[in-house]
């Protein structure tokens, strides 16, 4: 069955929780499968280290991604080099696949503006913290690609909470009207901070919202990396080389779970039961893929240990590089928003600098 013809409440799956094949395995060779696994292991290790850095006061507030590696890595791996990725604020793993270094991600959460600037040859938009504000931007970029006669597809990431925002509806509706080469990738991780999925909509699924915009919608097991890859690949191919019958845009709902907090400023124990978390941990995407690859003879203990060692070294090097850079100056809080700083903000910036000069860096930061 064509993935776009499935019932909205019938998620696409390739691997079950034990790594057993239950669907059509996508056409990936051994090196690609190992690379998917390597990215997922690296993202998980990075996530643990990043949370630790924040707890030690070495980094600002950070949004953990553990549990969402399959959705991020599987989808980003399906994009072509010239395609564009439009992230929210949790796509550290997807960004790594697309060419955003771990060092740059760390710099962003450490307050360096350099962390928010992709290299010139990397097609990734800046991080979007406001909920759903990036959706219309993604539609506009895709429309521009279409008008220019380019082949680039624009993949936009957002959470289930974003589907309650006006920007989501406006962006996806525009994409439907103008038939833009978009893939809208909804990370339905069950909670928008403390608001559960069922408080977002009366719709049975988020995927079926595509119906209102005249585009395709599909639900996928977001903790199955092979299923995510297959669905995203199909959506990207349709957006790039449209079917005469089907629309270019696709809304993908990847059903998944974030194991940790919404951010390190959040306490999920206030609104989530431990039993719920443990139930979802049994669906962990990394052991699932590992079990499949071991069964196929692609992975063994030695290769897994080697990948883990490489991931630890890569993350450690990124942390050393990021922490070796000078901390941002307080005045940078006021930069990068206006071409010319308004008088009131200029006054506040001067006052902040005066406080620093009067009390010294240590006392100033303590205040």
Catalytic-residue membership of 271: yes
Cα 173 to Cα 187: distance, rounded to the nearest angstrom:
19
Cα 354 to Cα 350: distance, rounded to the nearest angstrom:
6
Q: What is the mean pLDDT of the chain?
A: 95
Cα 188 to Cα 233: distance, rounded to the nearest angstrom:
19
List, in order, residues 6 or more apart from 38 with CB less than 8 Å away: 307, 310, 311
* Candidates 38, 258, 272, 288; catalytic one: 258
Cα 252 to Cα 90: distance, rounded to the nearest angstrom:
17
Q: What is the pTM of this model?
A: 0.94
Domain region containing 348: 330-366
Percentage above 90 pLDDT, the chain: 88
Please determine, for residue 271, whether its predicted confidence score (pLDDT) is greater than 90. Answer: yes
Verify that 317 and 336 share a domain, yes or no: no
* Candidates 104, 262, 272, 288; catalytic one: 262
pLDDT in tens, 279-322: 999 999 999 999 999 999 999 999 999 999 999 999 999 999 99
Helix axes 285-295, 30-55, angle to 10 degrees: 150
Q: What is the pLDDT of residue 361?
A: 63
Catalytic-residue membership of 112: no
Cα 173 to Cα 321: distance, rounded to the nearest angstrom:
43
C-alpha count within 13 angstroms, C-beta hemisphere, residue 164: 15
Verify that 206 and 130 share a domain, yes or no: yes
Q: What is the pLDDT of residue 117?
A: 86
Cα 305 to Cα 33: distance, rounded to the nearest angstrom:
16
Q: List the structure tokens of 255.
A: 């059903």
Verify that 157 and 249 share a domain, yes or no: yes
Verify that 272 and 361 share a domain, yes or no: no
Verify that 163 and 191 share a domain, yes or no: yes
* Number of folded domains that form the chain: 2
pLDDT in tens, 182-192: 999 999 999 99
Q: Which of 256, 252, 227 is nearest to 8 (CA)?
A: 252
Verify that 86 and 147 share a domain, yes or no: yes
Verify that 285 and 347 share a domain, yes or no: no
Which residue is associated with the tokens 């499968």?
33
Catalytic-residue membership of 257: no
* Candidates 199, 271, 327, 359; catalytic one: 271
Q: Is 196 helix (H, G, I), strand (E, B) or coil?
A: strand
Verify that 142 and 281 share a domain, yes or no: yes
Verify that 212 and 360 share a domain, yes or no: no
Verify that 195 and 336 share a domain, yes or no: no
What CATH number does residue 47 fall under?
A: 3.40.50.970
């Amino acid at each position: 069955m064509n993935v776009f013809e499935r019932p909205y409440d019938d998620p696409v799956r390739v691997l079950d929780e034990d790594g057993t094949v239950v669907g059509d395995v996508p056409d990936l060779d051994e090196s690609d499968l190992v690379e998917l696994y390597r990215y997922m292991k690296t993202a998980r290790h990075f996530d643990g280290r990043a949370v630790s850095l924040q707890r030690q006061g070495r980094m600002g507030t950070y949004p953990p991604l553990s549990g969402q590696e399959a959705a991020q890595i599987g989808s980003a791996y399906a994009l072509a080099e010239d395609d564009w990725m439009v992230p929210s604020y949790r796509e550290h793993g997807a960004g790594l696949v697309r060419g955003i270094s771990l060092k740059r991600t760390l710099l962003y959460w450490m307050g360096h503006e350099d962390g928010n600037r992709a290299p010139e040859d990397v097609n990734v938009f800046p991080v979007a913290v406001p909920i759903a504000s990036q959706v219309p931007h993604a539609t506009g970029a895709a429309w521009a690609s279409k008008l220019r006669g380019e082949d680039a597809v624009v993949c936009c990431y957002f959470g289930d909470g974003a589907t309650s925002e006006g920007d989501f509806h406006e962006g996806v509706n525009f994409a439907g009207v103008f038939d833009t080469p978009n893939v809208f990738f909804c990370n339905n991780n069950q909670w928008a901070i403390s608001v559960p999925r069922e408080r977002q909509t009366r719709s049975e699924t988020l995927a079926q919202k595509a119906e209102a915009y005249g585009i395709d919608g599909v639900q996928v097991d977001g903790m199955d990396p092979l299923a995510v890859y297959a669905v995203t690949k199909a959506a990207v191919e349709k957006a790039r080389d449209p079917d005469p019958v089907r629309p270019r845009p696709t809304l993908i709902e990847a059903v998944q779970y974030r194991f940790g907090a919404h951010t390190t400023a959040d306490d999920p124990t206030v609104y989530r039961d431990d039993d719920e978390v443990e139930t979802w941990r049994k669906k962990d995407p990394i052991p699932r893929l590992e079990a499949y690859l071991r069964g196929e003879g692609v992975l063994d203990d030695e290769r897994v240990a080697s990948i883990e060692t490489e991931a630890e070294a890569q993350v450690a090097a990124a942390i050393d590089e990021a922490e070796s850079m000078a901390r941002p100056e307080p005045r940078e809080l006021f930069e990068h928003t206006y071409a010319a700083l308004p008088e009131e903000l200029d006054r506040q910036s001067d006052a902040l600098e005066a406080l620093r000069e009067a009390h010294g860096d240590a006392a100033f930061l303590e205040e």
